[in-house]
Structure 1
Amino acid sequence: MPPDAPVSPVGPGAPAHERSRKARRRLRRDRRRSLGQPAGTVIADPAAAPTHIQAIWYDERQFHEQSHLDVPALRQLQKHSDVLWIDVAGLADTAAIKAIGESFGLHRLTLEDIVNLHQRPKVEVFDHYVFIVMKMLDATETGLTEQMSIIVGQDFLITFQERPGDCFDPTRARLRRDGGQLRGQGPDALAHALIDAVIDNFFPLLERYGEAIEDLEDAVVSAPAPALIERLHGIKRDLLEVRRSVWPTRELLNALIRDENPLIRDATKVYLRDCYDHAIQLMDIVETYREIASGLLDVYLSSMSAKLNEVMKILTIIATIFIPLSFFAGVWGMNFELMPELKWRYGYPAALGFMAIVAGLLVWFFKRRGWLEWERPANRPDP
């Protein structure tokens, strides 16, 4: 997600307004697909990415990893694995998703929520698994965020992502390391590690937003231009999307911490409280940046108004200087026969000199009153 995009300096490659339109179109498609369908119908988005299945199974002594798996191979892994993590990237293959649901006993409403990508972050508790929906940053630069679903069972964990590419490489590295603490714990600890990675991945993005807002703050004060408004609105749209992703995540984490569930151990809830604190910090940062961005819009309008007032003041002064000169030119341009100035040998240079003196006196008067000083914005002092 490069910070130098043409419109939104900190968002992914696509401009913020284009990402927003794509998200609205996708939401409309999802809602149209679900209209008239019975509850639990699994219908993939026509634009969904191809499905890739990766599996990791491990215990304290051994670790195994395999990519490009099919559903029959997953059924074999269920029989002899201690902790099984299945990562499904891409939701185009609904047959494979349904087969995974049948193998692990997932409710059909869960499968419907997995493929419908407009879900609000939430947590649902079933008899033998916990269903978690979150929003994480999109690593493919297709959008700002994407939906991720987590299924936490007794000895398995399944993740469903919209597209390949995620922020879980550090977690996978921890699992590959012999003697790691994560290897000796259950799926709930792995779920915490994934949730923590998703939340912490927002902090670098918000740092880039902060740097971009500081640059815009300097530009708005020193050199306001219409192009800054488009960038400012792009940042505000991205911050709103981050807020929609983080705000319900607090409720999700609070439910995991508060509710009694045998699949989420008390030892894991201690670490989930740390994730909850990080979500609170994210919300504080997002709200602060949104307020600054809204304030910058007011500063821009004030700067443009002050700049326009300066221009109008100069134009008014110039017009005021030429008003008496136009009067004298009109008087001497009437061409009456008995006007002695018209036939005087030095009348023309005398008229020009007189008008120059009048203009000079007006300039001196305006200068003395301080009306001819062009107010340049001072550089913002360092904090």
Structure 2
Amino acid sequence: MAYRFKKSSINKSGLPPGTLVYRGKERQEEVKITVFNYSNDDYLEEQDISLEESLTYKEKAGIKWINIDGLHNIEVVKSLGEAFNIHSLVLEDILDTDHRPKVDCYDEFVYFIIKLFSYDATEEEIDIEQLSIILGDDFVLTFQEKEGDVFDNIRERIRNQSSRLRSSGSDYLAYVLLDVIVDNYFVVLDEIGEGLFLMEEDLLLEPSQDILPDIQQVKRKMIFLEKSVWPLKGILNNLLKGDNKLFKESTTLYLKDVNDHIEKAIDTIQTFRDIINGMMDTYLSNINNKMNEIMKVLTIISTIFIPLTFIAGIYGMNFRYMPELESKLGYPITLIVMSAIVIGMLVYFKKKKWL
């Protein structure tokens, strides 16, 4: 089971606040912009449109959801920020893909940073992507590092005129995005849990040294996952405690439910960390037990040969007048005595359950 997390780092020291510098994996593909413009009666969906076309939706009626796949084109992020009056510090955080999850409340919008997990079953890899969500009065902007997400169900709900999304405001869309992201945490955690179960079985059946690096690797990644989710704990509660005009009272109840799911995800991650620590203890115990068994066998062998060595040492001395040296039965009697000692000691060890 292998988990790989790749991030690149660019030194921003010395730059003034609000300087737009992309920090993330280098990408060559074009930035993709998708727009949903909907109301209770109608909706419009446009895929892979230009920056200029997406900016025209600012003045249109209805709820606008503009999704950007790709942050490596700084000009796209900058232009959207200027069009929707987004503070430069927020744009700076959007481009910093190593940022910790948080919620910032401004007069005209609310800014969320949250981590999006995805699991590749073929490669057995977990990918962590930063997702930025900006909630305005009649719009939601989402910024993703790359194409591909877990929002297909939300798009289908927007296309369905009878869905609650079509008759709700932008705050409800922001809630649904957060809810789907958090629910997807459990999908990834279930995959991790299954992998831990298999590792635990292998550890109990055959505690080889090859499994130790896997345990250490999973332990490091669980720490990383916890760091990606833990900051979310209480963030929504703190948001709801404030007087935020962008969230209707009917939506706040759902946000509390999302916060409960976040706490459950954190509890699951901590449980997995405890399991991993237990696996490490089990591995060390198995190694110690195996070492003890080896030492036990060596000790028993040494104990058996101590009296035999004593007898052989006596009759190996070069004294001329030793009584048994001239006896024809001396050699077989000595072997019989030595064999009896060995058998007697083995019977005694068996009786004591040392064998």
Q: Is the aligned partner of 1:258 residue 2:262?
A: no
Taking the aligned partners of 2:327 and 2:191, their CA distance within structure 1 comes to 75
The count of aligned residue pairs is 350
Aligned to 2:112, the other structure's residue is in SS state: strand
Taking the aligned partners of 2:19 and 2:154, their CA distance within structure 1 comes to 33
C-alpha contact 1:139 1:165 (8 A) present in aligned 2: no
Structure 2 match to 1:182: 165
Structure 1 unaligned blocks of 5 or more = 373-383
Cα deviation for residue 139 of structure 1 reads: 5.7
Question: Against the structure 1 CA distance between its residues 46 and 152, is the aligned structure 2 distance closer, same or farther, given a 3 Å change threshold?
Answer: closer
C-alpha contact 1:48 1:91 (8 A) present in aligned 2: no
Cα deviation for residue 357 of structure 1 reads: 1.0
Cα deviation for residue 72 of structure 1 reads: 0.9
* Pairing 1:228-239 to 2, within 5 Å after superposition: 228-239=211-222
Deviations 1:229-270 (A, max 9, x none): 222222222221221122211232113322221211111111
1:109 to 89, 98, 119: 89
Structure 1 match to 2:142: 159
Aligned to 1:201, the other structure's residue is in SS state: helix
Taking the aligned partners of 1:123 and 1:329, their CA distance within structure 2 comes to 83
Structure 2 match to 1:381: none
Question: Against the structure 1 CA distance between its residues 245 and 356, is the aligned structure 2 distance closer, same or farther, given a 3 Å change threshold?
Answer: same
Taking the aligned partners of 2:23 and 2:101, their CA distance within structure 1 comes to 19
Structure 2 match to 1:145: 128
Taking the aligned partners of 2:324 and 2:127, their CA distance within structure 1 comes to 78
Deviations 1:41-100 (A, max 9, x none): 111237333422111111122222222222110122223341111111111100111111
* Pairing 1:297-376 to 2, within 5 Å after superposition: 297-372=280-355
TM-score with structure 1 setting the length: 0.85
Q: Is the aligned partner of 1:85 residue 2:68?
A: no
Question: Against the structure 1 CA distance between its residues 106 and 261, is the aligned structure 2 distance closer, same or farther, given a 3 Å change threshold?
Answer: same
1:295 to 246, 265, 278: 278
C-alpha contact 1:256 1:269 (8 A) present in aligned 2: no
TM-score with structure 2 setting the length: 0.92
Structure 2 match to 1:283: 266
Q: Is the aligned partner of 1:95 residue 2:78?
A: no
C-alpha contact 1:88 1:160 (8 A) present in aligned 2: yes
Structure 2 match to 1:47: 25
Cα deviation for residue 324 of structure 1 reads: 1.1
Q: Is the aligned partner of 1:196 residue 2:173?
A: no
Aligned to 1:315, the other structure's residue is in SS state: helix
Identity of aligned residues (%): 36
Deviations 1:116-141 (A, max 9, x none): 11212111122221111111114678
Deviations 1:294-337 (A, max 9, x none): 23322322222222112211110011101111121222222433
Amino acid at match of 1:369: K
Taking the aligned partners of 1:144 and 1:46, their CA distance within structure 2 comes to 13
Cα deviation for residue 106 of structure 1 reads: 0.9
C-alpha contact 2:24 2:97 (8 A) present in aligned 1: no
Cα deviation for residue 104 of structure 1 reads: 1.0
C-alpha contact 1:335 1:342 (8 A) present in aligned 2: no
Taking the aligned partners of 2:54 and 2:79, their CA distance within structure 1 comes to 10
Cα deviation for residue 103 of structure 1 reads: 1.1
C-alpha contact 2:20 2:74 (8 A) present in aligned 1: yes
- Greater Cα shift, 130-139 or 335-344: 335-344
Question: Against the structure 1 CA distance between its residues 226 and 81, is the aligned structure 2 distance closer, same or farther, given a 3 Å change threshold?
Answer: farther
Deviations 1:5-26 (A, max 9, x none): 3xx4xx4xx3xxxx3xx44xx3
1:36 to 8, 14, 17: 14
